Amino acid sequence: MAKPLMIALDFPTGKRALDFLSAFDQPEKLTVKIGMELFYAEGPSIIERVKALGCDIFLDLKLFDIPNTVKQAMHRLALLGVNYVTVHGLGGSEMIAAAKAGLKEGAEEAGLKEPVLLAVTELTSISDQVLKEEQNVQLPMKDMVLSLAQTARKAGADGVVCSSQELQTLNESMADGFFYLVPGIRLPEDGVQDQKRVASPAFARKNGASAIVVGRPITKNAYVKEAYNRYEEDWLDA
């Protein structure tokens, strides 16, 4: 698989998202993330409009429900022709396996390539304190993420979403060929906002990330293309 830098299109409307993408001369070279805010505002039509520009799409809805519900939802999402989708790793092996089955059925029905299934481990906004005191998890963060990743792989997921801080543990403990998507990416000159476990693009790449997601440091920047280029350079030159 390629190692893309994904731009998070965290906008309230499709118009805002498409206006943002118009700043790029070659949008067909971009991979973008469409999350809950934009998808819930616009529905599946936003997928078609972004696909028409040639972008690859990471549809990040983090499905988390009983296995049959997730299977049927993934069947529908596969029909949209997106490239990556997510479930919550905490949903368990049966739910993840059902998600994989739904994607396979939907992709076959549409005659499309099956989307890459990623299981979300612990959000990058979760600290060790929250993990212990609110989720009542006694494992250290790295061990918890590893446990979720191992479960996801056995259930048929193609990879996981994790922070950069767990990459070394995952790469040392998991077999080759698993996909690691890392959000919470910030260059030193950019603020961390509500993220807790962050790192630079170069750090993520050197520690085994397969892809990264960058949002506000690019989308909220007055100089969009320049900001994107800074992050891409740090990512590709690592």
Binding residues for substrate, as ranges, are: 10, 33, 60-69, 124, 186, 195, 215-216
Task: Say how far apart CA 238 and CA 236 lie, in whole Å.
Answer: 6
Phi-psi region of 92 (alpha: psi -120 to 50; beta: other; left: phi over 0): left
Please give the C-alpha separations between residue 219 and each of 199, 204, 208, 216, in angstroms, as whole numbers: 18, 20, 25, 5
Would you say 103 and 75 are in contact if contact means Cβ atoms under 8 Å apart?
yes
Please give the C-alpha separations between residue 45 and each of 50, 52, 61, 84, in angstroms, as whole numbers: 9, 11, 15, 17
Task: Say how far apart CA 168 and CA 187 lie, in whole Å.
Answer: 20
Q: Summarize the annotated binding site as residue ranges.
A: 10, 33, 60-69, 124, 186, 195, 215-216
**Which among 62, 132, 196, 206 is annotated as catalytic?**
62
Task: Say how far apart CA 162 and CA 183 lie, in whole Å.
Answer: 7
Residue type, 148: L
User: Is 62 tagged catalytic?
Assistant: yes
Take residue 220 and report the two structure tokens written for it. Answer: 């909220």
Which residue do the tokens 């918890």 mark?
A: 144
**H helix intervals, the chain:** 14-21, 36-42, 45-51, 67-78, 93-110, 128-133, 141-154, 167-173, 201-206, 216-219, 224-236
User: What residues are annotated to the active site?
Assistant: 62
